[in-house]
Structure 1
Amino acid sequence: GFNLPEAKGYVSWLDPDTLLLSSALGNGMATRSGYARTVRLWKRDADPLTTPVIFEAGFESLEVSGHSDRTGRSERLWFIEKRAFYEKISWIGDRSGPRTQIDLPRDASWRVFGDWLAVRPRKPWTVGGTTHPADALIVISLSSFLAGGRRFETLFQPGERRSLQSFFWNDEKLIISYLVNLVPRFEMFTPGHQEWTRRVLDTLPAEGTVHVWSFDAAVHETNGEVLVCAQDPITPPQLLLFDLNAAPSLSASAILKRSPENFDASGLVVTRHEAVSIDHELIPYTQVGPANGNGDAPVHLSAYGGFGTSLLPYYNSPLGKLWLERGGTCVVANIRGGGEFGTRWHDAGRRQGKRLAHDDFAAVAADLVRRGVTLPRRIAAEGRSNGGLLIANMLTRYPEHFGALFCAVPLVDMRRYTKLLAGASWIDEYGDPDKADDWAFLREISAYHTATPGQPYPPILLATMKRDDRVHPGHARKMAAKLQALGYPAYFYEPGAGGHGCGKDNRERAAFTSFGINFLRSAIGWHADSFHKRPGAREGRTSDE
């Protein structure tokens, strides 16, 4: 069989007895970031450490990988070297290794099916006499491209608040997902002899948070069937099966499964609002809670704001049960650094712009007070990982805006983060502290360095996991120790099991989450059991401001 000790990596099946193996297992097989730096051709029952290396990169690269592609006329292998988080070099090859480098911008994302190549540039790209904007989706014949052709056809054009979220191939059709001012939209493109046919997938759910992906895991086995997961903050997820070829309307018979209603959503209202940030950018946020309040609502506020990740409001069972059902209000902020409005939005909140993303979050907290929803002492904020860096900066930069903070699996020490576990892989997002120009702006958001005595810091819980192999537990440990030494109400929690996902199973994750939420409730002085909800419709409702 194929037996592999624990290590970071990937496998891709070539045939029943052969795998492509990308693994950090073995002496010198890991990059600086702790990921695989080689691709091996691994035969059944062979020792993975002695199998032949067919592709490798240097120690300073982020990682390498390889995968098979059976959508063409014959087997072809793709080899990827990630030089940085948003930079990769791609080759096409065979079982002996890479053969031809693909002449695409290193920060572009792409997908291949058969003889078609779809590309999403991350920056404006001038090619074939045409400049394609960032986040456009363009296509070309792969064989033509390899022969030197550069006449791309444009399938999607981005707008100010119209941004491509994902694209994938299914049965030689290209399915795209995009947001129009945070509202999900889907389209399908089919190649023809002369031009592509566009079809709006208007029978898919068009409200809330909706994700679409192929039913078949292997691209070459796709037959037009896709899975759809739809939900919103007060409606549990439902999983639907949709046939792109038959295209029936989505009826009850297409629903494969519904999640149970895990909390009572009666009387809850979902509304959209916008806060004005420090540079006058409008920052959207979604509020879920009772229709009418008394200006003293216990508010749970969260955001992420990093790596181009779009954080859309979803059915959050723990918060629903422990916060909303007991009369509280929950808010999710779409701060810069995320991907909600494309690369422009992401780039505005990374590197030196990370401080601006934190300003966005503080602006949302201030807007909740301005609108009469709550008071600063009643705002409890939570963030994890990159969101933990955000929360640590709320402590040191905007303590007057919050009543309590929950900072989980966080980055805190931005001077040494590149030397801890996978930290070096995030230089593209944050900057390199070993470069003087980068440290000049990183120091401003390195909460471990900016924490000082005599400040009005609210109570904070710093939590990590002993087995976190992504963000080193040392970040939370040293921050808690410093704050406690300075005399602040800082608390520390570190379970022995679980990794960056805050637990190895649902039981552990539930314990971690409930511990944090109970801390927040207690710290803002909220006795939830005595707080009575206001009456309202069982289904809730959605509106915009």
Structure 2
Amino acid sequence: MMIKLTCAAAALLALSSAAAAEAADPYLWLENVEGEKALDWVRGQNKRSLEDLESDPRFEAMYSEALSVMTSDARLALGQVHAGQVYNFWQDDDHKRGLWRRASVESYRAGDPEWETVLDVDAFAAAEERNWILGSISCLSPAYVHCMVELSDGGKDAGYWREFNTAEKAFLEDGFSLGEAKSNVAWFDEDTLLIGTDTGEGSLTSSGYPRTVQLLERGDAVADAPVIFEGEEGDVAEFTTVEHEDNAAHVIINRAVTFFESEYFYAPGTEGFEKLPLPLNADYQGMLDGRAIFTLREDWTHEDETHGQGAVVAYGLADGSVETVFEASANQSVEDVEIGKSDIIIQYLDDVSGAAVRVARSKKGKWKAKSIALPENGVVSVVSAGGGTDDAMFSFESMTTPDSLYYVTAGNKVEKIAETPAFFDATGVVVEQRFATSADGTKVPYYIMGLDSVLKQGDAPTVQYGYGGFLVPILPVYYEDPSRPQHGALAGLMWVKRGGILVLSNIRGGSEYGPRWHQAALKENRQRGFDDFIAISEDLIATGVTSPEKLGAIGRSNGGLLMGAMLTQRPDLYAAIDIGVPLLDMKRYNKLLAGASWMGEYGNPDIPEEWAYISKYSPYQLLKAGEPYPKVLFYTSTKDDRVHPGHARKAAAKMSDLGYDFFYYENIEGGHGGTANQEQLAHRTALEWVYFARMLMGAGE
């Protein structure tokens, strides 16, 4: 009888807790991602908003413009070198899901690659009658024949892994396979994988990522694979890297304690792991001649020698020695470190302008850097380095300069091998770097792009982009990540040539000036990044570039949180705000999907002292009636399994009940990118720019 009463009491307690939660948050039902009631609400909002935005006379032209860029055969086919072949992933009108293909280095370097299809994702998805989107690919080096390929349903972060053979150009029927999960895999040898995956209770962290590393032998079941490493439930995840040098397999396990803090464990095999003495704020980059290469995001004193924040160091796995490979100055930021056959390629920013060096170690243990003579005053990216060679490839671009591809030999000879034709006529378009003064006196850079005649006239329709988090720099690119419409090519074609101004904000939280720029806006200091964005907005108004009636703001993901803060803190500054795949409910963000993994960035809202500062900017809680909110645009994706669509849904529903009008678009597939193919992406991009045209330029053409 006591058991029955206890169970009944527990049931009543659960019901009362659910009722209390619903009372505290009346929009909680919108967190039920696939719930019919929630999806009915989504369909209704989509119908209302799409009918309005798509009816604008500018929409069709903007859609065609976006699609022309995203599916152009003139885009650079960027690829990575592996075993004498350049591998590339390509999407166009005929291959919406994409082709994984390869060409010889010789034909690629000559500017006329002879492509061979390795995997046609469209054909494979059709054959299996599945909505497959290609994800990550992990291959066994140096031969690059045995591969594990990730396929997701509609673009989710969670995916299925299957073994693929690049020589046979086919999936292996009896090969390795993993079920749907946010897994990670690494090849130990041809018949052995090191995996992290969901095997049931206790196998995942509180963030939903693998907590264990298992040794999976060919032919064995995942459930029977022994655990060789186990982290804590409160970790973000455990990640494994295997480096193959001189016929030996070196295993590095990253125990991600938080999103930014890691402990590293090493073994020259699959047992006997020892913790390396690196600081928590260090990032593993690769291995060269038995030395593990790390970048430091904090000062590190080891054996009475201090290595500075932002430096690249080499840790000797055999003797524990530490050597400085590269030191960044106060106005520099190391952005990419790639390991070649016998040297290291480092790409860095210098006052947000890209540069690169090749660093080699002398027999006396000294590292010497040689500059690579790439174009200046733009964005430099490493396209390929390593893969069995010391040759490397780089791209260069700026907001008005189309991408160019450069081949750099081991001797640092630089040759341009391809370039993209212009996607828009940049005649009369100028780009300037300016600085605004934030609330605490910090000088914050930003880029401004527009027609010279429009800038001189002043008071122009202006869209200001920002992100400000997770060590992500905002760079003045031409066309790099098509999911972001603020790039020079898309914005130039769809906005600037129509008389608009585009602004890129280098606010704190990114890595434009190294780890210190990021750490300045962490946790209790989040407001600094918001203040930086506001300072740029006010500078644009004070210098006559625009006015509050013609100023819009755009951001996605963490930038969506930034937009939510702008909406609730300074609605008087903006006439339009585009809020994409956002975090907005910072009280519950750590309970939704991958949210717990970001507590190193934002803090833990379940700790009263940390909620005290988070609550001061959490947009969802701060929405209220009677404010001069502009008519915002929310967009998200039902299939986003990284940032929960409930953030956007709940904020929109609350605004509706508070009496505000808004636009809302939720794509049913597409993952965190918000779209699953180029047509969907062009459609959403056109919605965003027609929204700004409607709000900042007035009636249609």
TM-score normalised by structure 1 residue count: 0.90
Match of 1:520 in 2: 692
- Which of residues 391, 409, 412 in structure 1 aligns to 2:584? 412
Match among 497, 522, 527 for residue 669 of structure 2:
497
Give a deviation string over 1:4-40, Cα, whole Å, max 9, x none. 2222122112222222222235444221111111222
Matches within 5 A, 1:194-233: 194-216=364-386, 221-233=387-399
Give 1:83's match in structure 2, choosing from 217, 235, 257.
257
Query: Which residue is 1:164 aligned to?
Result: 334
Q: Report whether the alignment pairs 1:394 with 2:559.
A: no
Report what 1:542 is aligned to: none
| Distance in 1 of aligned mates of 2:494 and 2:367 | 48
* 1:246-288 Cα deviation digits (max 9, x unpaired): 32232xxx41x43342222221111110111111111100011
1:362-511 counterparts in 2 under 5 A? 362-511=534-683
Aligned to 1:143: 318
Q: Say if 1:295 and 1:375, in contact at 8 Å, map to a contact too.
A: no
Query: The residue matched to 1:280 in structure 2 has which SS?
Result: coil
Q: Percent identity?
A: 35
- 1:32 maps to 206
- Counterpart-to-counterpart distance in 1, 2:184 and 2:374: 33
In the alignment of these two chains, the number of paired residues is 515
Alignment match of 2:468 (pick from 274, 290, 305): 305
Indicate how the Cα distance of structure 1 residues 154 and 93 shifts in structure 2: closer, same or farther if over 3 A, else same.
closer
CA–CA distance in 2 between the matches of 1:443 and 1:469? 24
Residue 168 of structure 2 is matched in structure 1 by none
The amino acid of 2:311's aligned partner reads A
> Contact 1:78–1:98 at 8 Å: present in 2 too?
no
Q: What SS does structure 2 have at the residue aligned with 1:65?
A: strand
Q: Match for 1:118: what amino acid?
A: I
The runs of 5 or more residues in structure 2 that have no matched partner are 1-174, 479-486
Distance (whole Å) between structure 1 residues aligned to residue 695 and residue 531 of structure 2:
23
| Counterparts of 1:32 and 1:386, CA distance in 2 | 20
Residue deviations 1:87-109 (CA, integer Å, cap 9, x gap): 11111125543422111112212
State which of 52, 60, 67 in structure 1 corresponds to 2:226: 52
Distance across 2 between alignment mates of 1:478 and 1:143: 54
Aligned to 2:413: 248
Moved more, 445-454 or 124-133: 124-133
Q: CA deviation at 1:43?
A: 2.8
CA distance in 1, matches of 2:315, 2:607: 40
Query: Following the alignment from structure 1 to structure 2, what is the Cα–Cα distance between the partners of residues 25 and 463?
Result: 33
Deviation by residue 1:351-389 (Cα, 9 ceiling, x = unmatched): 112111011111111111111111111111110000000
* Distance in 2 of aligned mates of 1:209 and 1:306: 19
Q: 1:171: how far off?
A: 1.4
Aligned to 1:532: none
Question: Matched residues in 1 for 2:577 and 2:278: separation?
Answer: 44
Report what 2:190 is aligned to: 16
Q: Is the deviation greater in 120-129 or in 428-437?
A: 120-129
Q: 1:479 to 1:79 in 2, by over 3 A?
A: same
Matches of 1:190 and 1:95, distance apart in 2? 27
CA contact (8 A) 1:108 1:120 kept: yes
- Quote the residue 2:502 is aligned against: 330
Cα distance, 1:204–1:29 mapped onto 2, change above 3 Å: same
- In the alignment, which of 121, 144, 154 is matched to residue 296 of structure 2? 121
Report the CA distance between 1:472 and its aligned residue.
0.5
Q: Which amino acid aligns with 1:198?
A: K
In structure 2, distance between residues paired with 1:526 and 1:23? 51
Q: Which moved more, 1:509-518 or 1:412-421?
A: 509-518
Deviation of 1:85 after TM superposition, in Å, equals 0.8
Alignment partner, residue 346 of structure 2? 176
Mapped contact 1:91–1:98 kept (Cα < 8 A) = no
Write the letter of the residue equivalent to 1:510: A
Q: Name the structure 1 match of 2:403.
A: 237
Q: TM-score, normalised by structure 2?
A: 0.71
Secondary structure at the aligned position of 1:509 is classed as helix
Alignment partners' CA distance in 2, 1:54 and 1:106: 22
Q: Distance in 2 between matches of 1:246 and 1:162?
A: 25
Change (3 A) 1:109 1:381: same
Residues 361 and 368 in structure 2, CA contact (< 8 A), matched pair in contact too: no
* 2:402 match: secondary structure: strand
| Structure 2 CA distance for aligned equivalents of residues 49 and 94 of structure 1 | 25
Deviates more, 1:314-323 or 1:433-442: 314-323
Maintained 8 Å contact 2:637/2:666: yes
Contact 2:451–2:497 (Cα < 8 Å) also in 1: no
1:93 is the counterpart of 2:267:
yes
What SS does the aligned partner of 1:444 have? coil
1:295 to 458, 466, 484: 458
* Matched-pair contact (CA < 8 Å) for 1:79–1:98: no
* Residue 440 (structure 1) shift: 0.8
One-letter amino acid of the structure 2 residue matched with residue 14 of structure 1: F
1:277 aligns with 2:435: no
What is the identity, as a one-letter code, of the residue corresponding to 1:82? Answer: A
| Alpha-carbon RMSD | 1.8
Question: Residue 441 of structure 2: SS of its match in structure 1?
Answer: coil
**For 2:228 and 2:407, how far apart are their aligned partners in 1?**
39
Distance (whole Å) between structure 1 residues aligned to residue 385 and residue 339 of structure 2? 12
- Aligned residue identity for 1:229: S
Do the aligned residues in 1 keep the contact of 2:251 with 2:270 (CA within 8 Å)? no
User: Secondary structure at the residue paired with 1:488?
Assistant: coil
CA shift, 1:231, in A, is 0.9
Partner of 2:279: 105
Q: Distance in 2 between matches of 1:318 and 1:502?
A: 17
Give the conservation status (yes or no) of the 8 Å contact 2:468–2:507: yes
Range 114-123 or range 396-405, more displaced: 114-123
CA separation in 1, counterparts of 2:309 and 2:330?
Answer: 12
Given that residues 386 and 411 in structure 1 are in contact (C-alpha distance below 8 angstroms), is that contact kept between their aligned partners in structure 2? yes
**CA distance in 1: counterparts of 2:199 and 2:464, whole angstroms:** 40
| Map of 2:236 onto structure 1 | 62
Describe how 1:249-268 pairs up with structure 2 within 5 A. Answer: 249-250=414-415, 254-255=416-417, 257-268=418-429
| Whole-angstrom CA distance in 1 between matches of 2:401 and 2:530 | 30
Which letter does structure 2 place at the counterpart of 1:406? D
Q: Which amino acid aligns with 1:178?
A: Y
**Residue 137 to residue 199, structure 1, CA distance change in 2 (3 Å):** closer
Q: 1:98 to 1:416 in 2, by over 3 A?
A: farther
